[in-house]
Amino acid sequence: MSDTELNNICELLVERYKDLGQGAAERLRHWLSGTVPFAYPDILRDHLAERHLSLLFDSFWQVLPFGTGGRRGRVGYGTNRINPTIIAMTVQGHCQYLRATFPDRKDLAVVIANDVRVFNDIAGVYQFLGDHHPLLGVSSRSLGKLACEIYAGNGIVAYFVDPTSDRAVISTPELSFSIDKLNAVGGINLSASHNPPDDNGVKIYDQYGSQPVAPNDQHLIDVMAQASNISTLSFDQALKEGLIRDLPRELHHEYVKTYVNLYDNIYPPLPDVPIVYSPLCGCGLTSAGEVLKELGFPFRVPPGQDADGAFSVIPFKAPNPEVPQATEPAKRFADEIGSKIVLSSDPDADRIGLEVKLADGSWYHFDGNQIAAVLCYFLMIDTHGPQRRGLVIETLVTTRLLGKIVAKAGESFLIDDLLVGFKYVADVLKKLEQHGHYKDISCAPQQLVLATEESHGVLIVPTIRDKDATPACMYLSALHQRLHKDGRTLLEYYTQILEELGGYVEVNRSIMLTGAEGIFKRDNIMTSLRKSPPKNFGGHLVRDEMDYWDEETFGPFVSESDKLPRNVIQYFLDTFIVTVRPSGTEPKLKLYCQLLPSGDPSNARGMQLLQELSDKTNSLARLVYQDLLARINISLGEAGLLLPDIIDLNRKQEFERLTVSRLREALANGTFKNLNDLLAWLRAEVAAMTPGADPLPALKAPVAFLCSRWTEELASSPLLAQLQEWAKH
C-alpha cells in the first residue's frame, strides 16, 4: 500500500475517532515502520482498508493495559491485542525490573508456566487474511518459548517444564509453588485463565509466588513502559548454555504430596462412589487430577475434555466453572456412569466448579460463595471433619457466612473486606509472614484454614500464593462420598448451613461490553454513580455508601496502579450489600448482591428456603443491572436479562430488538412445521452470540419466559408448547 493510501486511512481514523484516532494512527504507523519486533507489517497492510477501520481503531487505540496482575485480551495484530510483540515487550520489561530490583543477585531465575490455549480465530475476525497468517496456531506454549528466549537473552535462567515438548503445561498454583521452592525471583504465566480460546495473556509473579500489589506493580509497569530493545537468545542455544532448564520433576511430586499429606486419609475413598472431574480441556489433570488419583478417588474424565486449546467440546467455548452450561457434557457423562457429582477446573486449574445431582434427577450448580461456605463449614465446624482452627481470609464481595462460621468455631481469626483479587490474599500472607509476631496465634500464616473469594477461588496451603482447584476437589470428593453413604447431597449440606447460621445468599452479575466504546460506557457508569449516587435500588433504600476511592477513609493512593483495584463502590441497604466495580482487564462491569439475614427469618427449610432467598436476591440483582444500564441510557427487558452474562450487551439488545419479534411472528404464522426446523432457524438467527459454539443453551431461560408470556396470545400455535417444554430442560 502506498504512503498516500496509508495517509488516507490515518485521516479516516482521526476524522471518525478524534484524539483517540490520532493515537491509533501514530501507533499504526510505528508498527508499519519495520522497527517493531514481531509486528508483521505485511499482514498489517492487509488491514488498511476502510471496511476494517473499526478493527484498526480497536487494535491500536491504546497499548493493552497492565491490569490486576498482567495483560489479558484478544489475540490479534496491534498494540491493544495479545501477540508476540506485546508479550516480548512485557517480558523484556520484566527482565529490566528484575535487574533493578535484585542488583546484587547473580543467580536470577524465573519460572515460566503456560496453559493449553491455541489461537484459531473462532470468531472469524481475521477471515479476510485467509487460512494462513502468522498468529493462527499461536499458543500459550509458543509464547512461553518466546519468553524463555528473552529471559535467556537477558542472562536470566528460565525454568520451563519439559522444554523440548510443544504440549507441556503447568497450572497456576504449581507455578506459585515452584517459585517458592526454587527460590526464584519471580515468574510468568501465559494464560487467559477462563476466557474463550481467542484470548490469551501474561501474568507476572513476584519472588513470593504471588502477583504484586501497589505500589510494587506500578514500579513494574513503569519499567515495562520503557522497554523497547528486545534481547533474545535462540531457544536451542539457551538450552545448551543452561539458561533454559527443565522444571525439576521432584517439585511436581512434592506438590502432589503436599496435598496427599494434608488430606491425611480423613475419609478413605470409596471405590464404588464415582466422581466425575473435568479439567474443561485445560491442564487440571496434572494437578487436581494427579492428587485425586494418588489419594485413590474413583474419578472419571468426560470424553474429549482433557487438554485441548480450542476447548472444542465445552459449551459456548467458555471453560469457566462459574458458567453453569460449561459442564453440560460432563453432567451427561455423569448420568451415563451413575455419578452424582461433577467437579471442574478452568484451563490454568486455579478455579473450582461443583455440580450436584438431586433426587429428582436435576443438577444443581454451586456458585463460588456456596463452595466457600461448604468448605469452611466442613473444615471448621463439621463434627466429622478436620475441625481446624486458625485463619480464614476473604475479599469484600465474598459471602458473609464465613464470618458466622469462624465465630461459631471459636479460637480462630477472620480477615475480611480485602480488595477483589487473590493477590490481596497473598499480600496478607506475605505481611503476616514478614511481620513475625501476631496479636493472636490464629493469625499466623501457617495456621491458615482457608482463603477464598467469590469467583470460585480457594487456597488452603499458605506457601502457595494463588488460588488452587486441587484442595477443593479432594475435600469436596471426600465430603460427597461421606454424604452419599448417608443418603444426603452436598446441596442438603449447604441448606442446613443456611438453616443453622442464617440466610446469606449472593448473586453476581456482569455487564459485558465490547471494544473501546465498551470501556467508555463502563467508566461512564462509575462516574455517574459518583456524581449522582443512587438513593434506592428498586425501592430498597440505600442507608450508607462506601467508595474505596475516598482517600480520607481509605488513605491516599500509593500509586496510579492503586486506583484500578480501589475503583469499587458498596451500597448498604437494610438487608443487602450491593457492590459495583469495573473489570481490571476487560470492558466489563461487575455487580454483586449479597443478602444478609433479616430480623424476620423465614419458616422455610431446605431447598424451599434457598429458593426463596435466591429469588429475592436475583430480583434485586436485575433491578441493579437495569439501574446501571439506565445511567448510560440503555434499557434491557426481562428476556435480555435472562441471557447468560457471557453474552455481550450489544448481542442482548439485538436479541430483544430483532430475535424476539421474529420468533413470535414465526410461531404466530406457523412458519415452521416442526420443532427441529424452528430450533435450526433460531440457532442460525443468534449464531453470532457465541462464535464457534452452539448458542441454543443460552436461549433456554429467555425462551421459557417468552413462551409463558405468549401462552394466551399464541394459544393456537402448534409449536408453542413444544418450544416451552424444550426450554424447560
Q: Which amino acid is at 448?
A: L
Is the same domain home to 620 and 717? no
CA atoms within 13 A on the CB side of 421: 25
Are 518 and 585 within one domain? yes
Residue 689 grid cell: 452470540
SS3 state at 578: strand
User: Is there a single domain that holds both residue 516 and residue 491?
Assistant: no
Q: Dihedrals φ, ψ of 22, to 5°?
A: -65, -45
Q: Where are the beta strands (DSSP E) in 615-727?
A: none
Verify that 467 and 431 share a domain, yes or no: yes
Residue 473, pLDDT score? 98
Tell me, what amino acid is at 76?
G
The CB-side HSE value for 499 (13 A sphere, CA atoms) comes to 13
* CA terminus-to-terminus distance, the chain: 54
Which residue do the cell numbers 500464616 mark? 445
| One-letter identity of residue 81 | R
Do 568 and 511 fall within a single domain?
yes
Of all helices (H) and strands (E), which one includes residue 413? Answer: strand 413-418
Other residues' Cβ atoms within 10 Å of the Cβ of residue 612: 15
End of a domain among 61, 87, 102?
61
Q: Are 616 and 506 in contact (CB under 8 A)?
A: no
Indicate the number of domains in the chain. Answer: 5
In one-letter notation, the amino acid at residue 578 is: V
- Helices then strands, counting H and E runs in the chain, come out as 25, 22
Cell of 481: 462420598
Is 191 found in the same domain as 43? no
Three-class secondary structure of residue 633 per DSSP: coil
Q: Which of 299, 300, 297 is nearest to 269 (CA)?
A: 297
**Domain termination site, one of 448, 475, 501:** 501
How many other C-beta atoms are found inside a 10 Å radius of the C-beta of residue 214?
A: 20
How far is residue 645's CA from residue 453's CA, in Å, rounded to a whole number? 19
CB hemisphere CA count around 198 (13 angstroms): 16
Do 701 and 654 lie in a common domain?
Answer: yes
Handedness of CA 283, 287, 288, 292 (dihedral sign): positive
Radius of gyration of the chain from its Cα atoms, rounded to whole angstroms: 26
For residue 609, the domain's CATH number is 3.30.310.50
Contact 147, 159 (CB under 8 A): no
User: Are 100 and 239 contained in the same domain?
Assistant: yes
What is the pLDDT at residue 671?
95
Same domain, 135 and 95: yes
The predicted pLDDT at position 435 comes to: 74
pLDDT value, residue 224: 86
Residue of 566, 595, 600 lying closest to 578 (CA atoms): 595
Distance CA 452, CA 421 (A): 10
* pLDDT computed for residue 440 by the predictor: 60
User: Nearest to residue 56, comparing CAs of 90, 75, 80?
Assistant: 80
Cross-strand partners of 199: 74
Longest dimension (CA), the chain: 82
pTM of the model: 0.96
Same domain, 407 and 259: yes
Handedness of CA 533, 537, 539, 545 (dihedral sign): negative
pLDDT along the chain (729 residues), means of 10: 83 96 97 94 95 96 86 96 97 96 94 97 95 96 98 98 96 97 98 94 97 92 87 98 97 98 96 98 98 98 96 96 96 98 98 97 97 98 96 97 98 94 94 71 80 97 96 98 97 98 97 95 98 94 97 96 95 97 90 92 92 96 96 96 96 97 96 96 95 93 96 93 93
Q: Give, in degrees to the nearest 5, the angle at Cα 314 between 201 and 451.
A: 60
Query: Do residue 701 and residue 723 come from a single domain?
Result: yes
Per-residue model confidence (pLDDT) at position 438 = 54
The answer on 390 and 286 residing in a single domain is: yes
- Can you give the CATH number for the domain in which 232 is found? 3.40.120.10
Rounded to the nearest angstrom, the gap between the alpha carbon of residue 238 and the centroid of all alpha carbons in its chain is: 34
Going by C-alpha positions, the residue among 587, 505, 460 that lies closest to residue 177 is 460
The beta strand positions in 20-94, using DSSP E, are 70-74
CB 97 within 8 A of CB 223: yes
| Type of residue found at 690 | T
C-alpha torsion 419→425→426→427, nearest 10: 50
Q: Where are the beta strands (DSSP E) in 583-689?
A: 588-595
Which of 501, 529, 564 delimits the end of a domain? 501
150 is in which domain, residue-wise?
63-247
465 with 176: CB under 8 angstroms? yes
Backbone angles phi, psi at 104, to 5 degrees: -100, -5
Distances (CA, A) of 461 to 172, 228, 382, 401: 14, 39, 20, 22
Residues in contact with 86: Cβ distance below 8 Å, sequence separation at least 6, in sequence order: 63, 64, 71, 79
